[in-house]
Amino acid sequence: MGSVQIVTTILAAAITAVAVWLAVRAVMKMTAVIRLGQPAPERFADKGARTKKMLVETAGHTRMLKWSVVGAAHWFVMVGFIVLSLLVLEAYFEVVTPGGGLPIIGHWTIFGLATEWIGILGLAGILVLMGIRLRNRPTRPGGRSRFTGSTMWQGYFVEWVVLLVLIFGFVIRGFKVATDHFEYPVWATPLSHAVGAALPAWTAGVSVAAVIKIAISMTWLIVISLNVTMGVAWHRFLAFPNIFFKRDPEKAAGSGLGPLRPMTSEGKPLDFEEADPEKDQFGVAQVEQFTWKGLLDFSTCTECGRCQSQCPAWNTGKPLSPKLLVLSLRDHAYAKAPYLLAGGGKDLTGEEKATQEQLAGVDVLAMAEADRPLIGTAEEGGVIDPDVLWSCTTCGACVEQCPVDIEHVDHIVDMRRYQVLIESSFPSEAGVMLRNLENKGNPWGAPQNTREDWTKGLGFEVPRVGEVEDFEYLFWVGCAGAFEDRAKKTTRAVATLLNEAGVSFAILGEGETCSGDPARRIGNEFVFQMLAQQNVETLNEAFEGREKSKRKIVATCPHCFNTLGNEYGQLGGEFEVVHHTQLLAHLVAAGKLTPVQPVDGGVTYHDPCYLGRHNRVFAAPREVLGDAIQGELTEMPRNSERSFCCGAGGARMWMEEKIGKRINVDRVEEAMSTGAKTIAVGCPFCSTMLNDGVNGKGAGEQVEVVDVASVLLRSVKPDAPAGEKETEAVAG
Ligand code: SF4
Ligand code: SF4
């Protein structure tokens, strides 16, 4: 060992010792913070499925590849990070001796070949990612980007480290080539040989370049260890457990979509018959009341801003960005952690749990952080502003896009639950809806005995459950379908088509009440449970004696479709629920409905969030429309998984939209930009929102918003003038 190697060895050992010590300390700190969360025992079920999904999602980059160029570039960088970590290890041999290398595999040509090409592709990948970050930097002329609010220096730092580590990998190899210490052939390692041709035959160069590479790598480790909230770096490790513990490992995408989690206390579902707010946790009022998976979610956020770029609230000037919400919760959790780890925290009656002695050594900043309300305005020092909390439509675009499977909607609804159930604090205008749900069983407060009014004037009898011997489908009409004029047209169109196709169906009529979706999404789990239990009882009675596959329900409202199909199981109601567009697509394919006249003028389709993203029904409505228009749909730029919300979900239908541009107007502008004369929808709330948007733009004469079922009916029964049949009948 020469004098240069003695120095490089000492330097490498010293910086590595410091970095490893800090990293161990950081991992212990993060683990301690995450463990502060509430239990979530269900996350340990299905370990096999979880392992498989984690490997597929990480190795295959199945979520990232949706953003194809970024996804491909990130894949090469990720593979480069994992495989080329071996070359960082090899550098420890190279600081000791210029000819050093990894034992055994370090002499295999295949290892040289693989690392060479992963290094080259990693270089290309990181340059692409750096270019994309620079092109989208928030300070660029032209305004907000997905990186707005991200900690930009951290992203630049991580990218430069990757770039320099890769470059120094080739410099080490180059010096080895130049000094004849390199044993891989030119065909396997062309770049290393090219670099070697340009470098002097300086033997010490190998060890010097190796110690620089180690120093860069360890500086990275030191910096991230001193910044445990640096998700852009930590996600390299945390993404694996976060994906492993996702809510539903069976789902291909959107694990945190569809049903909401039941309210839990100490990891057990809350039973409202016995629940006591002084003993049981009602939603989330303190950051440590999220589950440990919630705290892991917050720690894993990479600050990539994909969620933000798709969020309808953020895109229309509201204060909500799902990314910033996650970052606020993360920063608050870590800042408050010293107080919590010292034993601090409030019990459910609001009393401090720790003694003065326990808190005596806690940092003053942590104590101040602990005093901040989780939900509160800037003046109150709140972590999350109420306007942020109530801007969410629960559309799920954030969850859909998040590459590390963060479950934003669950966290938002958990915070809403506490606000509504304990604080009675929510936008006042939604109070009318909640009162109507409690007293009348529907959000409009319409009399229950008018639920069947939509059947009047149809040319056939609509059978009721109990009045018929048997039925194949229970037609769940929904409150909008029963009481709201536009939605009634859809109800009538569906009933007419089912009758035309010879489907045996029956309705509950006055036995139906609201599915409970708006109550659950606003956070009023109590009212949801009340309505849902009643409906589950009614439905179980209606289907008595039938196995699950024969307990078939067709619903026109995607919110009912989601609630009945995905959430009633939590209350003992197992049904096979289809959306009307799925059943209609099946009936057309089976030849039971025959579109005869093409609907012209161009048709575009707006995906309802609770049908599309939340339940992955993208094809059926498009098939029905394709059959009805006998041609191609005109797609909007934001469609299918990336569809843009109408603004009504998450009980936003019942709240005023006071901040920013109206979401429905944004969506209508996009729909109208296609030039289509018909905007087809598959949800009564989308219909209301988009109709309002079209009318607000004074385009009601030129553009029509209409349900997929009505479009099909016009094609199947062209003898009736478009739209008139349903309209007249409703009026009658
Ligand atoms: S659910 Fe939709 S509105 Fe809510 S934060 Fe996510 S993207 Fe934004
Ligand atoms: S998409 Fe996921 S990882 Fe990216 S900023 Fe949003 S929450 Fe964080």
Residue-level pLDDT at 497: 96
Give the Cα separation of 695 and 384 in Å (integer).
35
Is residue 315 a part of any domain in this protein? Answer: yes
Is residue 143 a part of any domain in this protein? Answer: no
Q: Which ligand places an atom closest to the C-alpha of 304?
A: 2
On whether both 179 and 315 belong to a single domain, the answer is: no
Give the Cα separation of 553 and 24 in Å (integer).
54
- Give the residue from 422, 445, 470 where a domain finishes: 422
Residue 324 Cβ < 6 Å to ligand 2? no
Tokens of 560: 């009912």
> How many structural domains comprise the chain?
3
Minimum CA distance residue for ligand 1 atom 4:
392
Give the Cα separation of 555 and 621 in Å (integer).
14
Q: What is the pLDDT of residues 4-56, one digit of tens each?
A: 899 999 999 999 999 999 999 999 999 999 999 999 999 999 999 999 999 98
On whether both 401 and 287 belong to a single domain, the answer is: yes
Give the Cα separation of 257 and 532 in Å (integer).
19
For residue 351, give Cα distances in angstroms to 282, 344, 345, 612: 16, 10, 8, 45
Q: Per-residue pLDDT for 445 more than 90? A: yes
Residue 325 Cβ < 6 Å to ligand 2? no
3-state secondary structure of 521: helix
Is residue 171 a part of any domain in this protein? Answer: yes
Q: Per-residue pLDDT for 68 more than 90? A: no
Report the b/e string of 343-353 with b at 16+ CB within 10 A: ebbeebeeeee
Q: How far is the CA of 303 from the centre of ligand 2 (A)?
A: 5
On whether both 188 and 331 belong to a single domain, the answer is: no
pLDDT band at 84 (very low <50, low <70, confident <90, very high): confident
Minimum CA distance residue for ligand 2 atom 8:
301
Q: How far is the CA of 515 from the centre of ligand 1 (A)?
A: 22
Minimum CA distance residue for ligand 1 atom 8:
311
Residue-level pLDDT at 168: 96
Amino acid at 402: C
Is residue 552 a part of any domain in this protein? Answer: yes
pLDDT band at 726 (very low <50, low <70, confident <90, very high): very low
Average pLDDT for 229-247: 95
Provide the residue range defining the domain that includes 283: 245-422
**Per-residue 3-state assignment (H helix, E strand, C coil) for 668-713:** HHHHHCCCCCEEEECCHHHHHHHHHHHHHCCCCCCCEEEEHHHHHH
Residue-level pLDDT at 20: 97
State which H helix or E strand residue 508 sits in.
Answer: none
Is residue 152 a part of any domain in this protein? Answer: no
On whether both 353 and 458 belong to a single domain, the answer is: no
Is residue 6 a part of any domain in this protein? Answer: no
Mean predicted lDDT score pLDDT of the chain? 93
Give the Cα separation of 28 and 348 in Å (integer).
28
- Give the residue from 422, 450, 474 where a domain finishes: 422
Question: Helices 292-300 and 408-421 meet at what angle, rounded to 10?
Answer: 130
Q: How far is the CA of 310 from the centre of ligand 1 (A)?
A: 8
Minimum CA distance residue for ligand 1 atom 6:
398
Tokens of 396: 């799920």
Q: Per-residue pLDDT for 728 more than 60? A: no
Average pLDDT for 378-395: 97
Burial category of 253 from C-beta neighbours within 10 Å (exposed 0-12, middle 13-18, buried 19 and up)? middle
Q: How far is the CA of 603 from the centre of ligand 2 (A)?
A: 34
On whether both 457 and 412 belong to a single domain, the answer is: no
On whether both 446 and 544 belong to a single domain, the answer is: yes
Burial category of 360 from C-beta neighbours within 10 Å (exposed 0-12, middle 13-18, buried 19 and up)? exposed
Note the helical H segments in 100-151. 109-135
Minimum CA distance residue for ligand 1 atom 3:
392
The number of the ligand 2 atom at minimal distance from the alpha carbon of 326 is: 7
On whether both 318 and 249 belong to a single domain, the answer is: yes
Give the Cα separation of 473 and 457 in Å (integer).
22
Q: Per-residue pLDDT for 652 more than 90? A: yes
Minimum CA distance residue for ligand 2 atom 4:
304
Query: What residues line ligand 1, using a CB cutoff of 6 Å?
Result: 310-313, 320, 322, 392-398, 408-409
Is residue 280 a part of any domain in this protein? Answer: yes
Residue-level pLDDT at 732: 29
3-state secondary structure of 132: helix
Give the Cα separation of 484 and 477 in Å (integer).
11
Average pLDDT for 91-112: 91
CB neighbourhood size of 371 (10 A): 9
On whether both 638 and 704 belong to a single domain, the answer is: yes
Tokens of 531: 């309505």
Give the Cα separation of 419 and 424 in Å (integer).
6
On whether both 525 and 658 belong to a single domain, the answer is: yes
Q: How much is the CA Rg of the chain, to the nearest whole Å?
A: 30
Report the b/e string of 409-435 with b at 16+ CB within 10 A: bbbbbbbbbbbbbeeeebbeebeebbe
On whether both 311 and 369 belong to a single domain, the answer is: yes
Percent of the chain past pLDDT 70, that is, above it, reads 97
Q: How far is the CA of 33 from the centre of ligand 2 (A)?
A: 20
The number of the ligand 1 atom at minimal distance from the alpha carbon of 311 is: 7
Q: What is the pLDDT of residues 555-591, one digit of tens each?
A: 999 999 999 999 999 999 999 999 999 999 999 999 9
Indicate yes or no: pTM above 0.75.
Answer: yes
Residue-level pLDDT at 730: 38
Q: Which ligand places an atom closest to the C-alpha of 328?
A: 2
On whether both 474 and 409 belong to a single domain, the answer is: no
Is residue 5 a part of any domain in this protein? Answer: no
Q: How far is the CA of 121 from the centre of ligand 2 (A)?
A: 25
Average pLDDT for 125-144: 86
On whether both 207 and 298 belong to a single domain, the answer is: no
3-state secondary structure of 384: strand
Residue-level pLDDT at 731: 34
Q: Per-residue pLDDT for 518 more than 50? A: yes
- Give the residue from 389, 422, 455 where a domain finishes: 422
Q: Per-residue pLDDT for 188 more than 50? A: yes
Tokens of 375: 């939900």
Per DSSP bridges, beta strands 576-579 and 505-507 are unpaired
Q: Per-residue pLDDT for 727 more than 70? A: no
Give 398-409 as a DSSP string.
Answer: HHHH-TT---HH
Residue-level pLDDT at 598: 86
Q: What is the pLDDT of residues 605-617, one digit of tens each?
A: 999 999 999 999 9
